[in-house]
């Protein structure tokens, strides 16, 4: 059983060895591994700056690690990492590089792409959009009534929403801005109308954020926001809009003034775009200096990923563990549980990052993958999650690896923090060790894997490190599975069908169930209860 990625005997043999090793170690108990080797926790943890990853509560021994590392090497991971950073066209189905790492590279670095210095271009645009953020914050930029803005509404969806929403929310405590930032993503009118109810048209700035500038939800919401301004007798609605896009001509065509259109290049994937001008709403909220610290944190993780030896490389080891559980244990999901209220939006952000990247069933050359890939990422903040889904994690029949994230430095109230940390560590200990009990209802078998990510505190630098850590982890998984993580063709089918249903072309109704639903929706909407 190999994952089906071409002629690579060394890799296939390693895959086979891992399958055999998995069978041979099925009864391996983590509590026994700890009993035999008390140094295991220290040996199996990796520190990057202020971030510690504890990998010891996993169903692995020395041989597992050496086989996984052999798999990485046999798959050509080191060369793939070099290609990523060098801007090679690794997104083959779209024939372009994936250069989100260039968005956070320092000004002093250089990277030539088709004869142009990418880093110089990145910094020109970074200075532009952070300058705009400063001007919005200072009140120097005003709307059509001559009033400074006090509210910014980010209109975007997917990568044009989840990243800036997460960063703005997570960094609420470091924000010094007087500007309130709101997010509208859903085409459901209730999303926009709830936000507009809180806005004063005279002091509201809309950011239309869309890489393609063709996403229907965003276009519809932006048009309704514009109509709202007109309805409120706005003398010049264009002065209440700015745009972020890789399709600058489309934004200009829509009448958005050129000095308020901020670009990024098509080699930035939507779900990797928070580091670009797509992060503008967050930059306004947290301020330009904090946004630069976010980028510096991501860059620190980039350097670690690029330069650290594989066994000491946190994204590499986490990515290999994901492969270990998904491909050999058949674990289909990964639960992400931040014991940090500020990271409550992280599971939603990671759902897109991981699932839109690696939710594929063919490899980068189009061959069908014969092995499970991808991970279903879900989760919620701890401690809330303990009172919701942790029962299944402790006693359910599924194997669910869990990421637990927690900060070390108490905030203003040490009592809260003591409770929080104790709960986080108690969960990972309980998942690992379980509890013996003669009563099967009360017994917890344990041996359930988790990673704990412990960081000093959630400042912008650490947040940048964490997000980049997950980006690179996804890259490692994708590479080992042979997937191109930078395209998302599957999303297009639903978009095409929605377009034809909106157009109301009866011939395009795809099946009898959909026809029935359309018909019933029409009659129910008209007040017919169907009795």
Taking the C-alpha atoms of residue 420 and residue 74, their distance in angstroms, rounded to an integer, is 42
Does the annotation mark 495 as catalytic? yes
- Cα Rg of the chain (Å, integer): 25
Helix 460-481 crosses helix 62-74 at what angle (to 10 degrees)?
70
172 is an active site residue: no
Q: What is the DSSP string of 96-165?
A: B---GGGGGS-TT---EETTEEHHHHHHHHHHHHHHHHHHHHHT-SB-TTSPBP-EEEEE--GGGTHHHH
Q: Is 416 one of the annotated active-site residues of the chain? A: no
Residue 94 Cβ vs ligand F6P, minimum distance, rounded to whole Å: 12
SS3 at position 45: strand
The minimum distance between CB 241 and ligand F6P, in angstroms, equals 16
Q: Least separation, in Å, of the C-beta of 312 and ligand F6P? A: 32
Residue 195: φ, ψ to 5°: -70, -45
* CB nearer ligand F6P, residue 210 or residue 451: 210
Q: What is d(CA 373, CA 381) in angstroms, rounded to the nearest whole number?
A: 26
- For the chain, the first-to-last Cα distance in angstroms comes to 55
Minimum distance of ligand F6P from residue 216's CB (angstroms): 9
Q: What is the binding site for ligand F6P (CB under 6 A)?
A: 157-160, 210-212, 215, 218, 270-271, 356, 488, 491
Which one is catalytic: 20, 398, 495, 519? 495
Contacts of 151 (CB under 8 A, 6+ apart): 179, 180, 181, 182, 198, 199, 200, 203, 204, 205
Q: How far is the CB of 163 from ligand F6P (least distance, A)?
A: 9
Indicate which residue of 182, 356, 381, 471 is catalytic. 356
Contacts of 102 (CB under 8 A, 6+ apart): 87, 111, 118, 119, 122
Q: What is the DSSP letter of 92?
A: G
| Residue positions counted in the chain | 531
> Which lies closer to ligand F6P via its Cβ, residue 291 or residue 486?
486
Cα 145 from chain centre: 38
Cβ at position 518, least distance to ligand F6P in Å: 23
Residue 110's DSSP bridge partners are none
Q: Which is nearer to ligand F6P, 146 or 494 (CB)?
A: 494
**Which of 215, 373 has the CB closer to ligand F6P?**
215
- For ligand F6P, give the closer residue by CB, 346 or 406: 346
Compare residues 64 and 160 and give the one whose CB is closer to ligand F6P. 160
Q: Which positions are catalytic?
A: 356, 387, 495
């Amino acid at each position: 059983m190999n994952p089906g990625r071409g002629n690579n005997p060394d890799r296939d043999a390693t895959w086979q060895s891992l399958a055999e090793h998995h069978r041979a170690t099925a009864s391996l108990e983590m509590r026994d591994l700890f009993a035999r080797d008390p140094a295991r926790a220290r040996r199996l943890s990796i520190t990057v700056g202020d971030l510690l990853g504890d990998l010891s509560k996993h169903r692995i021994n020395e041989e597992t690690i050496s086989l996984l590392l052999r798999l990485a090497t046999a798959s050509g991971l080191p060369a793939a990492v070099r290609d990523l950073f060098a801007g090679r066209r690794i997104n083959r189905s779209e024939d372009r590089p994936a250069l989100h790492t260039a968005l956070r590279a320092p000004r002093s670095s250089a990277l030539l792409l088709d004869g142009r210095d990418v880093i110089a271009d990145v910094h020109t645009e970074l200075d532009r959009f952070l300058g705009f953020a400063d001007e919005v914050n200072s009140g120097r930029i005003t709307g059509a009534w001559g009033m400074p803005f006090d509210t910014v509404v980010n209109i975007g969806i997917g990568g044009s929403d989840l990243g800036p929403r997460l960063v703005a929310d997570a960094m609420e405590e470091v924000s010094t801005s007087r500007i309130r930032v709101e997010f509208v993503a859903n085409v459901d009118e209730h999303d926009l109308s709830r936000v507009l109810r809180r806005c004063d048209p005279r002091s509201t700035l809309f950011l239309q954020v869309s890489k393609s500038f063709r996403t229907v939800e965003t276009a519809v919401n932006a048009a309704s926001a514009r109509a709202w301004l007109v309805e409120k007798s706005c003398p010049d609605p264009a002065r209440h809009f700015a745009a972020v896009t890789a399709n600058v001509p489309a934004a200009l065509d829509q009448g958005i003034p050129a000095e308020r259109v901020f670009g990024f290049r098509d080699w930035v994937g939507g779900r990797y775009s928070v580091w670009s001008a797509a992060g503008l709403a967050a930059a306004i909220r947290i301020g330009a200096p904090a946004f630069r610290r976010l980028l510096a944190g991501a860059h620190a993780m980039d350097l670690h990923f690029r330069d650290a030896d594989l066994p000491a490389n946190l994204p590499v080891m986490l990515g290999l563990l994901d492969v270990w559980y998904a491909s050999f244990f058949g674990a289909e999901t990964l639960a992400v549980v931040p014991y940090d209220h500020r990271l409550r939006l992280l599971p939603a952000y990671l759902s897109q990052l991981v699932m839109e990247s690696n939710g594929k069933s063919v490899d980068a050359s189009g061959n069908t993958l014969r092995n499970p890939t991808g991970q279903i990422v879900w989760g919620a903040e701890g401690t809330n999650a303990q009172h919701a889904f942790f029962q299944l994690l402790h006693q359910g029949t599924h194997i669910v690896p869990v990421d637990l994230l927690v900060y070390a430095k108490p905030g203003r109230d040490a009592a809260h923090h003591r409770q929080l940390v104790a709960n986080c560590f108690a969960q990972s200990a309980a998942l690992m060790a379980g509890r013996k009990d003669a009563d099967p209802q009360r017994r917890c078998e344990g041996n359930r894997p988790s990673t704990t990510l412990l960081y000093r505190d959630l400042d912008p630098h650490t947040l940048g490190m964490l997000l980049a850590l997950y980006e690179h982890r996804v890259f490692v998984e994708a590479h080992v599975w042979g997937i191109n993580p930078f395209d998302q063709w599957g999303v297009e089918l639903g978009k095409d069908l929605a377009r034809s249903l909106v157009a109301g072309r009866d011939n395009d109704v795809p099946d009898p169930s959909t026809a029935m639903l359309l018909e019933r929706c029409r009659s129910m909407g008209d007040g017919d209860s169907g009795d």
